[in-house]
A and B are shown apart, each in its own frame.
Chain A
């Protein structure tokens, strides 16, 4: 059995860790509330954007537009949104797994654009090609930065370097559940629409409208993904830290019990020794 001093030392150390995890949980709870409010605020924009794009695409049908057919290149670009910091449970590795465990993606044919340090570290370790890395975007996502990224992606697409563009992020379902998602940004696939939207007119004509709206559509998807991902990150961290805190609690209880036992054991032993000693003398 471990000595009293050892047990006490371990207990103190776990208590220290517990204080940290407790504090981190509180911090991410506050951050989560803020991130959620931000994600909800921008929801409006994406819903309208999505509706408009779908209504345009359902009207023009299957025309030969460069944004609607895959490029000739076998290469694919993937924008991956992860966090800059760890201690968020499976949050980062789940997103990374979407790509590394996907049979449709060949390692040699991927251009990875990472937003977040953890994703970059993981892909670098597996030996993927990292085209760009933008860790600072996570801290405070600006629409203009996302727009610039979209421009670069579209340039690469138009130059024939890549044939398809994907986005991997974590969708925020609710506080306790977040779902990693992989969506295709380009070529845009139209969903079959009902007749109601068919009365919409476009100025300029449909094809020009696609030219101008698709880049905005892609930016809005990436931006929306960012907002969701930030909420998810804090949700995941809050949960991870909550678990860590209650695990620490359990360990402390167990160690307290062990400590008290050891203490009692040593007292009993001392008493036995004293009595044995006095008997020997007497």
Chain B
């Protein structure tokens, strides 16, 4: 194993989503977007909906990562994701509809609106659409 690589594991309740060597990984957290290189101090962060970029030796892979948390160690990262999707698993039409619905809800502030939930829905839809672009 080269010095500038770490082991990345992305696990969901249903399956092991990704397992392999990576040079860098970027994703969105509650504290903002972060990019992690090997040799990072041990850190646990909470994931927010956004794009996940995995920089592999020969190329970059992207996915939509929606919720969960990540455990960062100097030589390994495990992301425990509740929802994560490769671009080809995303239903573009549904994402667009969800985006429109969430925007509408937040704009009109309906009665009994769960704002936090609508915002998460908006972020998710945007993450999905951005991954497809």
Contact = CB atoms under 8 A, between A and B. Distances in A.
Interface of A: 38, 41-42, 44-45, 48-49, 52, 56, 143, 147, 199-204, 209, 212-213, 216, 219-220, 223-224
A38 to B, nearest CB: 8
6 contacts: A45-B11, A45-B12, A45-B13, A52-B44, A203-B43, A216-B68
Given A48-B78, A143-B82, A216-B69, A201 B16 contact: no
A209 B42 contact: no
B14 A201 contact: no
Contact of A48 (B30, B42, B45, B80): B80
Interface in B10-32: 11-16, 29-31
B80 A45 contact: yes
Given A209-B46, A213-B46, A204 B15 contact: no
Contacts of A199: 42
A52 B82 CA distance: 15
B41 interface: yes
Nearest to B16: A44
B69 A201 contact: no
B46 A41 contact: no
B44 A41 contact: no
Interface residues of B, number: 21
B71 interface: yes
A204 B46 contact: yes
A216 B13 CA distance: 11
Contacts of B44: 52, 56, 200-203, 209
A200 B41 CA distance: 8
Nearest to A46: B13
A97 to B, nearest CB: 29
Contacts of A202: 43-45
A38 B15 CA distance: 8
A201 B73 CA distance: 10
A49 B80 contact: yes
Given A203-B31, A212-B46, A48 B82 contact: no
Contacts of B30: 203-204, 212
A143 B83 CA distance: 9
Nearest to B81: A45
A42 B80 contact: no
